[in-house]
């Protein structure tokens, strides 16, 4: 969430920035009303606490003198009753203010272009030249169905729409991609591999901003009285490792990676990409997460982007880097780079990775801090996350870019050690 200072001391300015950049209407009147009552009630609560303490001491003194303490005890009881009411109301007010704050998006970094949607994103660079084919290009659906490598009907039978069964050598290629990415990030980019839970509690989802705003996009399960959520990305479990922690400065920046299944209900996707593997309810990603000092987070953001780009470059896949505008950026991000890979079957670039700096937005929700050696005091860390990269979409890109006229797929050089030396699958 935003720095409370912005919602208290700079409310009008913050509302104006959110309106200008995000198109978000902050309910200033509601916050002012709640804050006014909170301040007044907090002052009265402290006054009552001091008064009760003073009168309680007076009871002890009166008893020592043998005086009648009944009037004082009645006064203390009355103070206690009012104090209890005040504390309960104060708790409600704080909860109401927190509920508003949790729904407020992050403020974009000044370098982020202001825009309404993806049409206002800025292309920063383009790498690689799309291949020219001397035969009719097939998309990944046609290539997969031809060999029964991809079986949407089986997925639908088992689970419903937007689930796919992957078979044979294509399943092996999918596994090879994930292993290649993990090896690259751990051996060359300094990331520590972490095996994380796929089910997390509500506090974890709240910490990274999935709750309460995006609950309709989440899968959940309840056993007894315990409700848990299937992770939409291992960003949730990786980032929450520092929830309620004070990280040692010597361990910063913390760089973590994980390969996990991810689960997303895609409730608001409007039927886009229903067929194929572009938008599934269950998919796999190799995630990158960084916990950084505030003064180094944008340097870390650039390095994370380069790490994701290295995956595409080593696979020989044409791609481009975009700087997302304010209207296309995620709820918790201050700045986001999208990597889009060229898909010949669609004749267009499609997102394969999104790398975001959230600054202290998630850290405040999680109470994730580090001890600043300059001051000796705990301060919020900066959190960053990104795909390094989406495994299913990388599989789609390899299939379409490395397809041959006979429907076989040439295996990229960097994946052949993971494929037992196979040069192509057919």
Helix (H, G, I), strand (E, B) or coil at 291: strand
C-beta of residue 373 within 8 angstroms of C-beta of residue 425? no
Candidates 52, 264, 365, 369; catalytic one: 264
Active site residue 94: no
- 233 carries a ligand binding annotation: yes
Say which of 284, 354, 359, 365 is annotated catalytic. Answer: 354
Question: What is the bridge-based pairing of β-strands 424-425 and 409-410?
Answer: antiparallel
- Residue-wise burial string across 81-117, b where 16 or more C-beta atoms lie within 10 A, e elsewhere: eebeebeeebeebeebbeeebeebbbbbbeebeebee
Residue 213 CA from chain centroid, whole number: 12
Rounded to a whole number of angstroms, the distance between the first and last alpha carbons of the chain is 50
Q: Is 56 assigned to a binding site?
A: no
The pairing of strands 254-263 and 246-247 is unpaired
Q: Is 36 annotated as a binding residue?
A: no
Phi/psi at 60 (5° precision): -60, -40
From the candidates 52, 321, 365, 393, give the one annotated as an active-site residue.
Answer: 393
Going from the C-alpha of 87 to that of each of 41, 93, 242, the distances in angstroms are 8, 10, 31
CB atoms within 10 A of CB 271: 7
Residue 35 counted as an annotated binding residue: no
> SS3 of 256, please?
strand
Q: Is 416 annotated in the active site?
A: no
| Cα-based distances in Å from 340 to 107, 318, 387, 393 | 24, 9, 12, 10
287 known member of a binding site: yes
Does the annotation list 360 as a binding residue? no
Q: What's the full length of the chain, in residues? A: 426
Cα separation values, 267 from 40, 98, 258, Å: 42, 26, 25
Contact 318, 194 (CB under 8 A): no
351 is in an annotated binding site: yes
Q: Has 351 been annotated as catalytic?
A: yes
Active site residue 293: no
Give the span between the Cα atoms of 280 and 412, in whole angstroms: 25
Annotated binding residue 385: yes
175 phi and psi angles, rounded to 5 deg: -65, -40
**DSSP string over 179-239:** HHHHHHHHHHS-PEE----SEE-HHHHHHTT-TTTTGGG--EEEETTEEEEE-SSTHHHHH
- From 35, 87, 145, 351, active-site residue: 351
Would residue 354 show up in a list of annotated catalytic residues for this protein?
A: yes
Pairing of strands 369-371, 246-247: parallel
32 is in an annotated binding site: no
CA dist 297 and 379 (Å) reads: 14
265 among the known binding-site residues?
A: yes
Known binding residues: 233-235, 264-266, 287, 351-354, 385, 387
Known binding residues for L-serine: 233-235, 264, 287, 385, 387
> Would you please indicate which residues are annotated as catalytic (active-site) residues?
264, 279, 351, 354, 393
Known binding residues for ATP: 264-266, 351-354
């Amino acid at each position: 969430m935003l720095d409370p200072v912005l919602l208290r001391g700079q409310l009008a300015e913050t509302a104006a920035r959110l309106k200008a950049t995000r198109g978000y209407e902050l309910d200033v009147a509601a916050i002012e009303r709640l804050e006014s009552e909170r301040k007044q009630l907090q002052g009265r609560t402290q006054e009552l606490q001091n008064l009760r303490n003073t009168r309680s001491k007076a009871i002890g003194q009166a008893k020592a003198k043998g005086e009648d303490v009944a009037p004082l005890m009645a006064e203390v009881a009355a103070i206690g009753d009012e104090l209890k009411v005040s504390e309960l109301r104060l708790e409600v007010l704080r909860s109401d203010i927190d509920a508003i704050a949790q729904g407020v998006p992050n403020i974009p970094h000044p370098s982020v272009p202001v825009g309404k949607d993806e049409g206002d994103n800025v292309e920063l660079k383009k790498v690689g030249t799309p291949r020219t084919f001397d035969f009719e290009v097939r998309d990944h659906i046609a290539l997969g169905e031809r060999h029964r490598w991809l079986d949407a009907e089986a997925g639908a039978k088992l689970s419903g729409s937007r689930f796919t069964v992957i078979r044979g050598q294509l399943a092996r290629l999918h596994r090879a991609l994930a292993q290649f990415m993990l090896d690259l990030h751990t051996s060359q980019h300094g990331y520590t591999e972490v095996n994380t839970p796929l089910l997390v509690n509500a506090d974890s989802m709240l910490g990274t901003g999935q709750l309460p705003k995006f609950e309709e996009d989440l899968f959940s399960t309840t056993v007894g009285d315990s409700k848990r959520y299937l992770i939409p990305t291992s960003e949730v479990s990786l980032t929450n490792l520092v929830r309620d922690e004070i990280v040692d400065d010597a361990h910063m920046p913390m760089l973590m990676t994980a390969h996990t299944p991810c689960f997303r209900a895609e409730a608001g996707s409007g039927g886009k990409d229903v067929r194929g593997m572009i938008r599934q309810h269950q998919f796999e990603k190799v995630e990158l997460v960084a916990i950084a000092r505030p003064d180094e987070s944008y340097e870390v953001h650039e390095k994370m982007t380069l790490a994701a780009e290295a995956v595409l470059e080593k696979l020989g896949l044409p791609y481009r880097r975009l700087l997302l505008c304010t209207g296309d950026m995620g709820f918790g991000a201050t700045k986001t780079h999208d990597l889009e890979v060229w898909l010949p079957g669609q004749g267009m670039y499609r997102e394969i990775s999104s790398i975001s700096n959230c600054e202290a937005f998630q850290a405040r929700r999680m109470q994730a801090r580090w001890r600043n050696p300059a001051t000796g005091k705990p301060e919020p860390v900066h959190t960053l996350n990104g795909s390094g990269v989406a495994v299913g979409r990388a599989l789609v890109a390899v299939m379409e870019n490395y397809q041959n006229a006979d429907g076989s797929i040439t295996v990229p050089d960097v994946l052949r050690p993971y494929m037992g030396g196979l040069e192509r699958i057919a």
